[in-house]
A and B are shown apart, each in its own frame.
Chain A
Amino acid sequence: TSPTKMENKYYRVEFDPETGLISGIYNLQKGISLPLTQSFYWYNASIGNADSAQASGAYIFRPNQSNPVPVTQNVRSYLVQNSLVQEVYQNFSSWCSQVVRLYSDQPYVELEWTLGPIPVGDHLGKEVISRFDSKLQTNGLFYTDANGRQVLQRRRDFRETWSLVQTEPVAGNYYPVNSRIYIKDKNMQLTVLTDRSQGGSSLTDGSLELMVQRRLLYDDARGVAEPLLECGQYSEGIVVRGRHLVLLDTPQDAADLHRTLALQEYMSPQIILSSGDGVPYSSK
């Protein structure tokens, strides 16, 4: 049976028994809950169309339509429960999986995703995203950190300093995410911390997405003269593993945690091992 929930003293994560996907997150300390779904999708990379010959490539992100394709509708999942950690393993496809993790006394939900090798046997370039969909009333606003420090407010289909005519409804709303992206309404803030720089956006109210991997078949003719098609060690494409930390809090309190946690992610420790048979040493 698919797991339906996992819980520590800070969070409860619920899963849809039909689909196996995350269906809600509850901050138990603050008594707030947010029904949401999280899943993986891919944009079909443009190879150029009647409007423009521009293909999606290393420099250019240009999906050929606004609606991404879900990797799957249902995931196979199972729960591993220990005293230090609870983990739900979700298998989306042969090239996409995720572990939803709650450590016993950590105030965040960890999503560890593994993607690749992205199949391109169908001759379609793929740009894979992790997307969170909720009912938050965000009024077209979302927030990303531009440089790892200052969080900037972004407004969908809008630029601060000129009147924008949006021609790329997806790519035109993507922004750099170096450590965090969040959406909020009056009562709740959903924050996602990244372990590396990614692109991110909120294309509809209550939705938040991060691009996690791309594999493309055409050059974008911007000077690279190669498609973004890494073969990797085994010549079948690369596998990428990364983490997103998900926080649900009130807008007033959210920064308290996401700032300290993001710094902890950025400056995580290096593990150094020794066999323990050392000799006394002095730098003098």
Chain B
Amino acid sequence: TSSSLTLRRAMGVAQHHDAVTGTAKQHVNDDYTLRLYKGWETCQVVISNALSSLTGTKESFTFCNLLNISVCPTTEAAKSFNVFLYNPLGRAATWYIRLPVNGVAYSVRGPSGDTVTSEVTPVSKFTKDIRRERGNAERELMFQAQVPPLGFSKFTVQKTSTQERFFIRTKKR
């Protein structure tokens, strides 16, 4: 079961001008943050259920909240994983996706099974400095994702050896 009620309540509370502007006492701001976090946690179940319905597959979906500092235990450890992107816009859109990884080479396949151009770059020192012990990804996998309007795209990521990567590139060429 899932419900968006917790987030709706948290958003209701956060309509107060102190929450909008951050002008409350610190412990009150911390409480606003906690409420929003709990709301987001319950909405993850809502999204998981919706995705299960849309894809026709029930999976254990995971969400990474610290991608802005290149932290995601799932992508850092897994040899293969799927990436789902839902586009809430009424037109097709393109986003660049960056995921923290520890491998050197990955192949990314798009919704129709074709190889998507991707590359692996080192995580910057700037990012390593601020994330502290919250993650240890050495690299980021980057690819361009196209998503249809009001719909989702699924990308399959597979860790490869550098030789396989070379083979895939050569074959594509």
Chain A positions near chain B (C-beta within 8 angstroms): 58-59, 80, 82-85, 89, 91, 97, 99, 103, 105-106, 114, 222, 224-226, 228, 230, 234, 239, 241, 263-264, 267-283
Contacts and interface: CB of A to CB of B under 8 A. Distances in A.
Contact of B59 (A58, A230, A241, A277): A277
Contacts of A281: 52-53, 55-58
A269 B85 contact: yes
Interface string B25-56: 11000000000000000000001100111011
Contact of A271 (B25, B53, B64, B124): B64
Contacts of A82: 119, 121, 142
A175 to B, nearest CB: 14
Interface size class of B (residues with CB under 8 A): 35 or more
A114 B123 CA distance: 14
Contacts of B58: 278-281
B63 A84 contact: no
Interface stretch (B2-10, B90-98, B159-167): B90-98
B117 A84 contact: yes
A226 B27 CA distance: 11
B112 interface: no
Contacts of B69: 241
Contacts of B144: 84, 103, 105
A15 to B, nearest CB: 17
Interface string B85-111: 111110001111101000000000000
B60 A274 contact: yes
Contacts of B147: 269
Contacts, number: 135
B13 interface: no
A67 to B, nearest CB: 26
A82 B55 CA distance: 34
18 contacts: A58-B22, A85-B121, A99-B126, A103-B96, A114-B127, A239-B130, A264-B93, A272-B48, A272-B62, A272-B63, A272-B84, A272-B85, A273-B81, A274-B59, A274-B60, A275-B60, A275-B78, A276-B59
Contacts of A276: 59, 80-82, 156
Contacts of A99: 124, 126
A275 to B, nearest CB: 6
Contacts of A269: 85-88, 93, 95, 147
Given A241-B68, A281-B57, A282-B56, A273 B119 contact: no
A273 B78 CA distance: 11
B121 A80 contact: yes
A84 B87 CA distance: 21
A75 to B, nearest CB: 12
B53 to A, nearest CB: 5
